[in-house]
Amino acid sequence: MRLATYRKGKTCILYDADSLCDADGAPQIDPYHLDPEYWRRTGKVIGEAPGRGASLFLQAKHEQWVLRPYRRGGLVSRISADRYLWCGVERSRAFREMRLTAHLHALDLPVPRPVAAGVTRHGLTYEAGLLTVRLPGSRALAELLPEADAALLQRVGHTIRCFHDAGLDHVDLNARNLLIDPSGAVWMIDLDRCRLRRTGRWQQANLDRLERSLQKFLAPSEASRVARVITRGYEG
């Protein structure tokens, strides 16, 4: 994967030049590709994910993509749901997540291949979006919990350990940000605000956060049991 930047008007795009370049090197990416309304107008929205920001599943030329607009939560969203303070394009949430995802992808860790990140500046603020390749047929761990066996749960724990060994602190590790593809492989998504760190207490904090998310989908005793099985996979 070779990352390159492309500017057009107020928008700057960081993209995978190996997959989004014509033969003459011109990028096959434009600001409108980060606009949900463009995909709706062209009839290429094939699905939508739940949650803040309402990620869209898109039919691109040769593969399916996921477009995730960056959205704020909590009280600050009442002021602005999609604007962030401008501190430079490389410090934007989209560029940071794109570069981090590309780094993990290069390490052969199971993250969806990043396609492009776009940032549009509006004076002292900006709005942004991220495109990644979709994993067709994948389902969130949260959906599979009622039927998840010990083997799957231990694979979840092992996968988390692989990311931790690479130094990834996933600040929002929950049962919706772990996807299971049709082959049973475990993938990690949504790396917004995540970072690389040295070994520390954050690793246990990630696991604790995951256990708290399990309690939203399972009875407390069952959530604890599932967390223990995941931990066995993590420690094994």
Query: Two tokens at 132?
Result: 């990644």
Calpha distance 130→27 (Å, rounded): 16
Of the residues 108, 172, 181, 190, which is catalytic?
Answer: 172
Dihedral pair phi/psi, residue 116, rounded to 5°: -165, 150
Specify whether 172 is catalytic: yes
Catalytic center residues? 172
